[in-house]
Amino acid sequence: MSVSDRPVLLVTGSRKGIGRYLAEYYLKKGYQVEGCSRGEVDIKDAHYTHHQVDVADEKGVRGMIADITKRHGRIDVVLNNAAIASMNHVLLTPAKSANRMLEVNVTGTMLVCRDAAKVMMRRRYGRIVNFTTIVAPIALAGEAVYAASKSAVVTFTRILAFELGQWGITCNSFGATPIMTDMIKGVPQDKIDAVVNGLAVKRLGTPEDCANVCDFFINPASDNITGQVIYLGGIT
């Protein structure tokens, strides 16, 4: 199996929003970018490959990782961005909606980490960044299940760091403040304003903020930064 010279970065949920921004950002930085989402994507770049995969589908994830490995022989970075949210009072949340959020946000993250780490461990190198949210630490009413799923991601990532550290793989979490993407387009403006007013830095997050934190986590020099979570906007 030949190994690509270009570092390989997998970003999930790359069809739109932050995932898409990061896919294009890291293409510009010289990465071979592998993206995935349930739908098709129109990123046209010789160094971008899209996988139409639901991250909660074990077989689909396995096939995607196998395909990347076959073509490039390496995976250097995983950005687990794919997630779904549903703003609902818990008394009005159907089990199906809750289960789907857990499947995509928790199981999906786990599956991608698991199969990518198997490739990373052979080269004794890897950087995993799992996306969480500030709505978990701020306990935002109306986001109970979504926040719970993202809290699970943080705990999962902390433990993953210990399980994979011996193979040179770092695992960290990143929680953005609200960013104007499709994910929050249905959230009432007064709710968004209330969240922003509670931040140390009173502004919406930006995709550039996300790239900045990812740059730090995936830097080869960050080999002793693992099991950490960074939230934007002063939230801890």
Partner 1 sequence: MIERSQAYEIVVASLREVFEQTGTEAPAKVGDETVLVGTDAVLDSLGIVQLIVEIEQRVEGAHGVSITLASDKAMSQRNSPFRTVGVLTDHVIATAQEAAP
Residues lying near partner 1 in the complex (CB under 8 A) are found at 1, 58, 62-63, 66, 69, 118-119, 121-122, 166
DSSP 181-213: SGGGTTS-HHHHHHHHHTSSS-S---HHHHHHH
The identity of residue 100, as a single letter, is R
User: Closest CB to partner 1 among 118 and 158?
Assistant: 118
Q: Is-contact 15 84, C-beta < 8 A?
A: no
| In the complex, least distance from residue 67 CB atom to partner 1, rounded to whole angstroms | 9
DSSP one-letter code for 105? I
Helix (H, G, I), strand (E, B) or coil at 217: helix
Looking at the Cβ atoms of 165 and 227, the one nearer to partner 1 is: 165
- Residue 87, classed as helix, strand or coil, is coil
CB of 87 to partner 1, least distance (A): 33
69 vs 80 by CB, closer to partner 1:
69
| Structure-derived torsion over alpha carbons of residues 99, 102, 105, 108, reported in degrees to the nearest 10 | -90
DSSP state, residue 221: G
Instruction: Determine the Cα–Cα distance for residues 123 and 24; give it in Å rounded to an integer.
Output: 26
Measured over the CA atoms of residue 220, residue 135, residue 11 and residue 232, the dihedral's sign is negative
As measured in angstroms, the least distance from the Cβ of 6 to partner 1 is 21
Scan for tokens 């930006």, then name that residue. Answer: 206
Q: Which of residues 8 and 210 has its CB atom nearest to partner 1 in the complex?
A: 8
Q: Could you tell me the smallest distance in angstroms from the CB atom of residue 168 to partner 1?
A: 12
The residue (of 6 and 122) whose beta carbon lies closer to partner 1 is 122
Q: Is the separation of the CB atoms in 173 and 131 below 8 Å?
A: yes
Min. distance of Cβ 233 from partner 1 in angstroms? 38
Closest CB to partner 1 among 19 and 108?
A: 108
